[in-house]
Amino acid sequence: MKTFFKILIGIILIGAFGYTLFYLFQKSQTKPVVYTTASPFTETIIKKTVATGSIVPRKEIAIKPMVSGIIDALYVEPGDFVKKGDLIAKVRIIPNMLNLNNAESRLEQAKISLNNAVADFNRQKELYEKDVIAEAEFEDADIAFRQAKQEVKAAENNLQLIKEGQTKTTGETTNTLIRSTIDGMVLDVPVQEGNSVIEANTFNEGTTISNVADMGEMIFEGKVDETEVGKISEGMELILTIGAIEDVSFIAILEHISPKGIEENGAIQFEIKAAVELKSDQFVRAGYSANADIVLERVDSVMTIQESLIHFEDDSVYVEIETEPQMFEKRYIKTGLSDGINIQIVEGLTKEDKIKSGTIQE
């Protein structure tokens, strides 16, 4: 009985040892490699560059006051449409105390001169009527009297201009009533009633009361890298995608390429401008960010393969073609336009050819 168990244990050990050897042998054997293949296909290849920028109105005007003072009333809000000449705001003048004092002094002096001229005129008139003086002397007194009256009137107008920004003769507050200079939409009103404003003059650009723009004519302003600017020209078509408007693209025509570049983050950028073709069912707001695809080259419906399938050897390009199942040979080809993903095949391949791809299946 003991001999039987010894023999059984020996057989089990020998079997386990044999199975282990067989398992290790199987593991050491390399499985055959199976390559996947791909065939050429027809595709339109577009080589393009991308410019980033924004959509802005072609004509945007900053409305500024012609007098300094305080905003007395505002008549518009952002989003309102205005016509040329429509009222934007009213400014209440706060007169300069020095100018006001000088104007009041001038008026008082003019009144004193007028009183003296009136007295002299009356004396000369009485003497002229008695034939005591010549007509020429009376005319001199008359001229002096009229000049004194005119000086009082001018001094009064000057004082009123300083106080109110208008005169009795004009009847209009042209300087204190701020009006739109173009037709368009009010984009912004950066002031409020009660704010102080400064007039626009030679030494100061003045306070902006509102910005008015023609929203019916928009342009794309963007920048292109120096490596691409030599490939574009005025008149080229741009395809705009606006982040705020999904699934809609706009066409723009390139109008301007800056002759001078600007350095940004170590790279030279050139500003471009393009006229946007707006759509009646889409309202494009000023300041929308946008990307412009500029088509540099394009070929339609050509034989194409994935660019990852090609190999380079010196100045030649080749692919590996399947001649028999899982048997491949080099074939040199001539390529054309590439968009970075797909590449045009000019010659060397047919649509029936199977090209070894880069993926491997075990």
- 169 & 250 share domain: no
The domain tally of the chain equals 4
Q: In which domain, by residue range, is 26 found?
A: 1-30
User: Residue 162 has what pLDDT?
Assistant: 63
Over pLDDT 90: what percentage of the chain? 25
**DSSP β-ladder status, 69-74 and 237-242:** unpaired
- 201 & 339 share domain: no
**CB-neighbour burial class of residue 165 (10 A; exposed 0-12, middle 13-18, buried 19+):** buried
163, 164, 166, 167: CA torsion to nearest 10 = -50
User: Residue 255 has what pLDDT?
Assistant: 93
Helix pair angle (135-164, 97-129), 10° resolution: 160
- 204 & 220 share domain: no
User: Residue 272 has what pLDDT?
Assistant: 93
Is residue 134's pLDDT more than 70?
Answer: yes
User: For residue range 304-354, what is the model confidence (pLDDT) as tens digits?
Assistant: 988 888 888 888 888 888 888 878 888 888 988 888 888 888 888 888 888
User: Residue 30 has what pLDDT?
Assistant: 57
User: Residue 276 has what pLDDT?
Assistant: 94
Show which of 213, 247, 265 is a domain's final residue. Answer: 213
Considering only CA atoms, which of 18, 99, 36, 100 is closest in space to residue 328? 36
User: Residue 311 has what pLDDT?
Assistant: 87
- 267 & 196 share domain: no
- 207 & 343 share domain: no
**DSSP β-ladder status, 267-276 and 311-313:** unpaired
Q: Across the chain, what does the average pLDDT equal?
A: 82
Show which of 264, 297, 330 is a domain's final residue. Answer: 297
Residues in the chain: 362
The two tokens of residue 34 are: 């199976």
Show which of 297, 321, 344 is a domain's final residue. Answer: 297
The pLDDT confidence band at residue 183, using thresholds 50, 70 and 90, is: very high
User: For residue range 84-125, what is the model confidence (pLDDT) as tens digits?
Assistant: 989 999 888 776 666 667 766 777 887 788 788 788 778 877
Token pair 């001539």: residue: 334
| 217 contacts: CB under 8 Å, gap ≥ 6 | 57, 58, 59, 275
- 141 & 3 share domain: no
* C-alpha dist (Å) from residue 250 to 28, 89, 237, 316: 62, 36, 10, 41
User: For residue range 6-20, what is the model confidence (pLDDT) as tens digits?
Assistant: 666 767 777 776 667
- 263 & 155 share domain: no
CA–CA separation, 303 and 350 (whole Å)? 8
- 222 & 315 share domain: no
- 71 & 208 share domain: yes
| 47 contacts: CB under 8 Å, gap ≥ 6 | 295, 296, 297, 298, 337, 338, 339
- 291 & 271 share domain: yes
User: Residue 57 has what pLDDT?
Assistant: 94
Q: Please compute Rg for the chain using Cα positions.
A: 45
- 203 & 227 share domain: no
Q: Which residue has the higher pLDDT, 108 or 277?
A: 277
Long-range CB contacts (within 8 A, 24+) of 14-18:
none
CA–CA separation, 256 and 274 (whole Å)? 7
The CATH number assigned to the domain holding 136 equals 2.40.50.100
- Highest mean pLDDT of the ranges 104-118, 132-146, 248-262: 248-262
C-beta neighbour count of 227 within 10 angstroms: 10
Q: Within 13 Å and on the Cβ side, how many CA atoms surround 98? A: 0
- 352 & 332 share domain: yes
The CATH number assigned to the domain holding 253 equals 2.40.30.170
331, 337, 342, 347: CA torsion to nearest 10 = -30
CA–CA separation, 270 and 292 (whole Å)? 14
The two tokens of residue 87 are: 């009222």
